[in-house]
Every structure is written in C-alpha cells, then in structure tokens.
Amino acid sequence: MTNPRQLAFIALRDVHKGAYADVALDRVLQKVNLADSDRRLVTELVYGSVRRQRTLDTLIDQLAQKKSYQQPKDLRTILHLGLYQLRYQERIPASAAVNTTVQLAKENGFSGLTGFVNGLLRQYLRKAGEQGGKGAEEKDSLLLCQSPASSPQSLVPNPQSPVPHFDPLQLPENPVGRLGILHSFPDWIIQVWLEQLDLAQTEQLCEWMNQSPTIDLRINPLRTSIEEVEAALQSAGVLVRRVRHLPQALRLIGSAGSIQKLPGFREGWWTVQDSSAQLVSHLLDPQPGEMVIDACAAPGGKTTHIAELMADKGKIWAGDRTPSRLHKLQENSQRLNLQSIQIYTGDSRHFNQFQNTADRVLLDAPCSGLGTMHRHADARWRQTPESVRELSVLQKELLTHTSTFVKSGGVLVYATCTLHPAENEQVISAFLAESPDWEIESPNGVELPYSAHSTPQGWFKVWPHRQDMDGFFMVRLRKTNDSE
C-alpha cells in the first residue's frame, strides 16, 4: 500500500485508540517504501490532523447534524483528513482533497456515507467562498489583535496567506474559547498562557506552536568546527544557518532527508539538539576536571553537551530510571567519542551515595512539555491540569533530594521544557522557602544568550514566539553552606 492518505488514516486511527502520534506514524512508514514527497505528505496529514483536532471537531459539530463525538470513530478520522486538507493545505487542490476523502470513506467501510462526506466537505467550501477557507487564522487573528488588550504592533496580518470571504468556523466571543477553538488547544492551556501574556502574545504563541518544528544541530567541538560542518552540509545541498549567540548551533532550513545520512553523523561531528536545550548546559557552565551529575539524563542530549563543554575531562554521572532511554545516551556518547560519562540506572530520588560529592548538578526535570508541543503533536491532548499537579509534586521531590548531591559552594541548574508556572516558578519558590542554604545566582561571567530575557527573580524563561526556539525554563542555584 502506497496511498499517503490511507497510510495517514491508519496512523490516525491508532492515535485515536491511544497510540502516541510519532510512534503510530513510524509504525506505518516503516512498512512501506515511499518517495520523500509522499512521506512528507503522510507526516503532515498525521501531525496536522492531531494538532488541529479541536478545530476540525468544531467544524464537524457546526456542519453536520451529529456532533463529532457522535460520529463513528473512523468516519470522524476521515472527516478530519478532508477538512485538514481544505483548511490548511494550500498546495492541495480543493477538488483533490474532496475526491480522495470520499474515496477513503468508500475503502474503509463507509460506502453508504460517501454522499454525506462529499456533502459536508462541499458545504465547507461553499461557506468559505472561492478561497476554500485557507488563511482563516489570519483573518480571525487580526480581529483578535484589535481588541483593547492587544499591543499596537500586532495589528499586521500575514500577507502570505489569503483571507476567505467568510470563514465557515464560527467562534465564541470569549477570548479563551475563541483562541482554543481557532488554534486548537484545550481551554486550560490557553488560560495558563493568558495569565502570563497579553492576548496578542498568547495568540502569537499559539501560532508558533502550530508550526512544523525546525531541526537544530549541536556541533561537537572536540571532533570538528562549525565552519567544517557548515561546508560539508552545504556541499551535500543542505541549507543551514547559525543561531545567534549559540556557538555550537546550526539550524537546518527546509527538508534535509534522513538525519543519519547527513555528512558528519557517523563521524560524531554533531548531534540533534534544539537551541533552547543547548542554553541549559551553558547556564550550568561545567568546567574541565569537575564531577557533574545529570540526574534525569536520558536520552542524553544535555549529558553529552556537558561532556563537550568540559573538554571530556572530569566525570559525569548520568542517571535515569528508564534503561531503554539510557541505551540511547550510550549510543550517542559512543558516536560522539566521549569518555567521561558514567551511567547509573534508577530514580534519582532514591540515590544517597552522591551526597555532597558534585561540583554541579543538572536537574532537567520530567515535565508536561508545554514548551515543545509543536514537536509532540498530541501532548496538548494528553496533559491535564491534574497531570501537571502530579508532575509538580515529582519535581519538588527530585529537587529536594538532588540538591543534597551538591558540595558546599556548588551549583544546581533546574530546567524544564514547559511554560507552566506550577512546574517552574512555584517549584523553585517552594524549594527556596524551605532551603535557607540555597540562593538563585545570576550567571555573572557566563556568556549566556538572551540573558536580557531573564526575570528580576533571576530565572530564565524562553518564550518560543519571541526567541524562535522551544519553550524552556531554567534557573541556576548556588549552595551557600553545608546542609544542616
């Protein structure tokens, strides 16, 4: 089977049964030999339909007599695919989107409902006018940005996207529901962002999170130079650009094909790591000869970066409770030819042999991942306010225990890839209230990119729509005296 839309349907059917989107997609793609363009189409249809699920469900609610949750599950999935192409895929002709979706229904047990599928999609097009509904976000974004709470500079719509005569998607007046339906996020996530940002910036963040993710590389300076990697990639026809302020970062521009086939991968010249994650190890600022503990290390991107910054001199203990994920760390450290990393398996909350031994500790804590939802299409539907509360308890326990690993005068960096204050600021504030021998330390002497974006409290928050990289929180703590 090589029909991209049928493959996307099979993957989405698995996602709606509980599979992770990336796992379901990989499972489907591994069974077939597709041209690169078809692989990209399958990937776009799967991730896009998952990301835009709430918007697509709302369209079904408004266009059909039965609500989306009342539709047969597979039929709902087929309608998602059709509506996604009509609304968000500029390069797919409307007639092709309709006809292939009707064919999907016919081939997957809904021959008797092909008229319904055809009618619903054509009703969408009819309501949208000749523009086909694409670009509706820009129209509604402009209306939202003209509210009194918005900043003046946000009043410019995206000129690249056409605006339909009329958007078939009807939106509520309430800003939370309006943004949630338009950009396809649960209301509670929109609320969390609106408590930290104004309306216009919240919308910019929503738009950023719905983009396809970029791929950043981190050059291994122990094996090569950034100039050498740039030249090798450009010779292979791969476009890259440097990331401002990050000495080891290169961002791939456009499609690069299989990562493992790019020049320098096997030689250990570089590894894949988002720019935000690279910031964390710079904030830790490990020095050659030190003893460093990475308490939640797998799959090892930050561990290997720490080793590179230490010139692979000293000792790094890398721990995680998931052996399979630690195997990935071992593979990467071998490929990068790093010798200073030692691995321990288990929950760092239960390790006592490291007390008062480390010069520096990195706690890259398990989190809700709300800063990386563009990479994990289904994360917005998997996390809940309750799961965030449970994670914040785990984070506090990890921070309390791993802080005992640090020598007097040593450093601990706490980091997450979430933008939820309950997992970030509130965790740090609670820890400091109970730990008089710890204080926040501004990274004086450490050349940290975007230090202008640190807060008065001393922690750093990377907002994706401002810095164009994954959302991250990080703070550097100094142990002033031995614990009592």
Catalytic residue list: 417
Determine contact, residues 284/415, Cβ cutoff 8 Å.
no
Determine contact, residues 311/288, Cβ cutoff 8 Å.
yes
Q: Considering Cα of 255, then 261, then 263, then 269, what sign does the dihedral take? A: positive
Closest CA to 15 of 27, 3, 29, 30: 27
Instruction: Describe the crossing of helices 114-128 and 73-88 by its angle, rounded to 10 degrees.
Output: 30
Determine contact, residues 164/125, Cβ cutoff 8 Å.
no
Chain length of the chain: 484
Q: Cα–Cα distance between 52 and 209 in angstroms, integer?
A: 11
Determine contact, residues 169/127, Cβ cutoff 8 Å.
no
Please state whether beta strands 438-440 and 406-416 pair in parallel, antiparallel, or not at all (unpaired).
Answer: unpaired
Determine contact, residues 440/477, Cβ cutoff 8 Å.
yes
Q: Cα–Cα distance between 297 and 280 in angstroms, integer?
A: 13
Q: Considering Cα of 445, then 299, then 264, then 273, what sign does the dihedral take? A: negative
Token pair listed for 144: 């939202």
How far are the Cα atoms of 230, 253, 318 from residue 248, in angstroms, in the given order?
Answer: 11, 16, 22
Secondary structure of 442-469 in HEC code, one letter for each residue: CCCCCCCCCHHHECCCCCEEECHHHHCC
Closest CA to 357 of 317, 310, 311: 317
User: Is-cis flag, bond preceding 299, omega within 30?
Assistant: yes
Residue 305 phi, psi (nearest 5): -65, -40
- The structure tokens 């998607």 sit at 169
Closest CA to 221 of 311, 332, 339: 311
Give the largest Cα separation in the chain, rounded: 75
Residue 47 phi, psi (nearest 5): -65, -40
Token pair listed for 268: 């250990």
